[in-house]
Structure 1
């Protein structure tokens, strides 16, 4: 093995690849900040799973940059090796050349680790996006008529995935996206969502906090006490224990059952519904 040829070719390829990576990342960051506001922003609102769509786009761009960098490195390494780049290191001691190779190997391992993490994160975000879209589409069918659905509603305590507003009440729907196993079921235990067959427990404290904060903000807006009913959606899972004092558990097939989870105190005046829809419309306008 010609260590001088390998070191020379790898050095040329790494230097060029790093330059390519810096330019690509800089351009990517610039394109996100300059001119990122959509046209007709006042008329565009969040779609279902909007934040997951945005995150998936970001991860897809990063993945494309890393894969392109790997291709650039391979092409330039082969080209430099064929053009006898070993002359760059002619006369250097062998230990220095091996040290250079070790450094390049570590750099390659780090780059592969970053690429692997990006691919896995993209895979997970894609699943969460699909789960939220599935629930969002079902809600659109349920709410057809006098109710409206809002997506990715921000509160000071977090984001509520979906909010349904209508004369019969207000529902805050949060999606717990976890890959369903065969014959797997989910059930509520207090403020925890438990999956069968030791597939884990998801605390609902953050969901409860964001829903409670939304309820508080709506009550302040309308000037009276209003309840926001908390619905937990677990797409793909069979539902066991379905209801608790604070939450209703559904999947994408049973979500229509939430329409029956109400009482007369949940009803809203038409004026209150309109005021609330105006407020949520302002919150959910797409700014970037």
Structure 2
């Protein structure tokens, strides 16, 4: 038993130094920061960039992918080191049972890690597509600031985020970005770059989506309620959906719906028509102040970069 434990510890000692060094470095930086009083020079939180929530999720999933990639080789190394190392140090013959157990453990772990990696990579690709869409939309919406509008990105709410919020003389807009790959999904679709909006459904070249409209309405309702409480005045946010890269075909009657669908390059046309609640200059400032406070990241505990 002692020999088996010794072999396992020996195997761990070979593969663990990088992890030990990394953990020691993190602890050392924390200790030095406390001892010297070192802190980040930016004491006021910065505004959240577009796609911040997706970017954070991508970072965590990327770390999960690294762990999954390392799991199979690590388990295999320990298993085979035990199967062949124990007999070597004890002077006994190699046990076919231990070798078979090592093979099974390695294969099972590698298969599980492979399935996990496939799922992670698919999710990472979807997150990247969504992040790039939010950034592309933000680039176009930011141009509205030259026309007197305030634009905020990745507004943190209770259990979700609103991708973009626009505040200006024509009202408040809660914008949800939906990035869809271009592809013909139906033989009836005329092309693979036109999205049709009939007021109730968004049709992406044969793939019909109603949930995104309901999502945008729920988010706008939440924003309306929150701004009403925060400013002390009734506030109505207009829901909108940005679909970067797609040409929008608005059918007759769709403009009568409370939700607006647009290509980000049509941002000026989005805000050109007043909503049900236009704002004066003071109203824009009050709402923008509340959004500014909520969109700022807390950097008080961020460490100084070397």
1:201: which partner in 2? 209
- Distance in 2 (alpha carbons) for counterparts of 1:20 and 1:66: 16
1:105: which partner in 2? 107
**2:284 maps to 1:273:** yes
**2:260 maps to 1:258:** no
2:229: which partner in 1? 220
2:58: which partner in 1? 56
Equivalent residues in 2 for 1:218-257 (5 A)?
218-241=227-250, 243-257=255-269
- Is the 8 Å Cα contact of residues 175 and 216 (structure 2) preserved in structure 1? no
- Distance in 1 (alpha carbons) for counterparts of 2:127 and 2:41: 26
- Distance in 1 (alpha carbons) for counterparts of 2:73 and 2:94: 29
- Distance in 1 (alpha carbons) for counterparts of 2:154 and 2:94: 60
- Distance in 2 (alpha carbons) for counterparts of 1:217 and 1:141: 26
TM-score between both structures, scaled by the size of structure 2: 0.72
- Is the 8 Å Cα contact of residues 72 and 110 (structure 2) preserved in structure 1? no
- Is the 8 Å Cα contact of residues 196 and 249 (structure 2) preserved in structure 1? yes
- Is the 8 Å Cα contact of residues 188 and 243 (structure 1) preserved in structure 2? no
- Structure 1 residue runs without a partner (length 5+): 1-7
- Is the 8 Å Cα contact of residues 163 and 176 (structure 2) preserved in structure 1? yes
CA deviation map 1:184-216 (0-9, x unaligned): 33233445433222x342413232111111012
Structure 1 residues 268, 121: closer, same or farther in 2, change over 3 A? same
**Cα RMSD, aligned residues only:** 3.8
Report the alpha carbon displacement of residue 217 of structure 1 after superposing the two structures with TM.
Answer: 1.9
Structure 1 residues 53, 21: closer, same or farther in 2, change over 3 A? farther
- Distance in 2 (alpha carbons) for counterparts of 1:21 and 1:165: 53
Structure 1 residues 123, 277: closer, same or farther in 2, change over 3 A? same
- Distance in 2 (alpha carbons) for counterparts of 1:269 and 1:53: 35
Report the alpha carbon displacement of residue 38 of structure 1 after superposing the two structures with TM.
Answer: 6.6
- Structure 2 residue runs without a partner (length 5+): 34-38, 185-190, 300-306
- Distance in 1 (alpha carbons) for counterparts of 2:17 and 2:56: 22
Equivalent residues in 2 for 1:156-167 (5 A)?
156=158, 158-167=160-169
Report the alpha carbon displacement of residue 132 of structure 1 after superposing the two structures with TM.
Answer: 0.2
Aligned residue-pair number: 267
Structure 1 residues 176, 232: closer, same or farther in 2, change over 3 A? same
- Distance in 2 (alpha carbons) for counterparts of 1:153 and 1:43: 14
CA deviation map 1:61-116 (0-9, x unaligned): 33344445667678x68x969xx747379546534532331122101111222222
- Is the 8 Å Cα contact of residues 71 and 113 (structure 2) preserved in structure 1? no
- Distance in 1 (alpha carbons) for counterparts of 2:115 and 2:96: 29
1:124: which partner in 2? 126
Structure 1 residues 179, 112: closer, same or farther in 2, change over 3 A? same
SS at structure 1 position matched to 2:44: helix
Report the alpha carbon displacement of residue 236 of structure 1 after superposing the two structures with TM.
Answer: 2.0
Structure 1 residues 107, 65: closer, same or farther in 2, change over 3 A? closer
SS at structure 2 position matched to 1:144: helix
- Distance in 2 (alpha carbons) for counterparts of 1:21 and 1:63: 20
